[in-house]
């Protein structure tokens, strides 16, 4: 996990990624002081790549009123401030993920009721087809027209330009979790009868149009990844077999890496959770589609990440919740396994040897206890 990794013209110092995680703390789509502190702390914490949460390409594309955007000048200036801070004060790379919430837009902040519609001030939502994410509760999305699709494609391209202008090193297109582009891909949410519905090739048609528009304006020397739901966990939905074909299609269109998540497309899902439970999807895509992958989901220890990378199951490991609990997760895990060459921020260097010593002492005490028990 501590080996460097190069994709196009970008080299990451290690294989650990701070996964995109919604914080619901923007105002009018503008990331603020919270985002600067939140992302800056995790960039200082040792990860090679730090993702912002999904930045939405339009006001209507936001999941909640607290979600950030990438469509206005104030947002551009705020993202540039964060990007500049990370590049000035750390050696981490800065990544942006762009998306549109589709039928899952116009909902409350997570702590006020995840996926529930706003109590007031809801905005119209649209998706691949008419859809109600929470049956009998959510708004019903309208099916996108060709004109709607053209507008949204342009919004994605404009967002990619802005991401480049603020200095992002890496761009990811969000095609997972039931959001707009994901809703085109999954047969659970795409019931169209035109050229954008039916077969997997047809359902991929619009997401690929968006990808190509974005790739055309995103700098050629910078990587672009795609997050997919590799398993809908619902009968009749996307399967791991489909995920390989989806990855092949995005690879052919110019994607550099597939970020293999799953689920969140239907409330009927029945995921099988466990340690590293989504890693098999990244493994299959990497081996069968022949494209770099990022594993994500229940990766919480250095041993998890090291086993994934060493076995060639994925190229990068995205770590989410552990980074919420500990911004310096990567530095902590390095000390825990005795990897001392890792470089700490110079301002924090006095803490490095202390943490390493504490873990060494703990390990020695555990070994002594085991030896004493064996001698009884």
Active-site positions read: 179
Q: Are 106 and 122 in contact (CB under 8 A)?
A: yes
CA 22/CA 109 separation, integer angstroms: 10
Residues 131/183, Cβ–Cβ less than 8 Å: yes
DSSP state of 346: G
Cα(186)–Cα(192) distance, rounded to whole angstroms? 11
**Is 161 exposed, middle or buried (CB count within 10 Å of its CB: 0-12, 13-18, 19+)?**
middle
DSSP state of 285: I
Q: What is the 8-class DSSP label of residue 102?
A: G
Please check whether residue 216 is in contact with residue 229, taking contact to mean a CB–CB distance below 8 angstroms: no
Residues written for the chain: 376
Instruction: Determine the 3-state secondary structure of 252 from DSSP.
Output: helix
Mapped onto helix, strand or coil, the DSSP state of residue 272 is: coil
């Amino acid at each position: 996990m501590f080996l460097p990794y190069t994709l196009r013209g970008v080299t990451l110092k290690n294989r650990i990624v701070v996964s995109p995680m919604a914080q619901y703390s923007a105002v009018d789509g503008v990331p603020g002081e919270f985002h600067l502190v939140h992302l800056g702390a995790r960039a200082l914490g040792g990860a090679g790549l730090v993702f912002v949460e999904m930045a939405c390409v339009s006001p209507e594309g936001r999941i909640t009123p607290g979600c950030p955007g990438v469509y206005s000048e104030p947002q551009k200036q705020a993202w540039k401030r964060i990007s500049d801070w990370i590049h000035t004060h750390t050696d981490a790379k800065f990544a942006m993920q762009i998306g549109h919430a589709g039928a899952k837009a116009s909902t409350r902040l997570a702590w006020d009721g995840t996926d529930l519609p706003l109590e007031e001030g809801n905005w119209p939502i649209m998706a691949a087809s008419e859809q109600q994410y929470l049956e009998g509760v959510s708004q019903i999305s309208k099916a996108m027209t060709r004109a709607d699709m053209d507008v949204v494609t342009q919004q994605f391209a404009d967002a990619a330009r802005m991401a480049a202008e603020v200095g992002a090193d890496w761009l990811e297109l969000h095609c997972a979790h039931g959001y707009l582009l994901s809703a085109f891909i999954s047969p659970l949410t795409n019931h169209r009868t035109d050229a954008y519905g039916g077969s997997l090739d047809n359902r991929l048609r619009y997401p690929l149009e968006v990808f190509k528009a974005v790739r055309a304006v995103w700098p050629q020397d910078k990587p672009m990844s795609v997050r997919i739901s590799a398993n809908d966990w619902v009968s009749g939905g996307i399967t791991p077999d489909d995920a390989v074909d989806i990855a092949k299609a995005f690879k052919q269109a110019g994607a550099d890496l597939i970020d293999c998540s799953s689920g969140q497309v239907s409330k009927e899902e029945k995921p099988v959770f466990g340690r590293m439970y989504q890693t098999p999807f990244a493994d299959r895509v990497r081996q069968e589609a022949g494209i770099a992958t990022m594993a994500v989901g229940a990766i919480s220890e250095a041993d998890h990440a090291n086993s994934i990378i060493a076995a060639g199951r994925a190229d990068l490991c995205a770590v989410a919740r552990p980074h919420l609990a500990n911004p310096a997760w990567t530095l902590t895990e390095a000390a825990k396994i005795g990897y001392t060459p890792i470089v700490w921020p110079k301002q924090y260097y006095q803490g490095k040897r202390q943490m390493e010593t504490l873990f060494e002492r703990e390990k020695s005490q555990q070994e002594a206890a085991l030896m004493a028990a064996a001698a009884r």
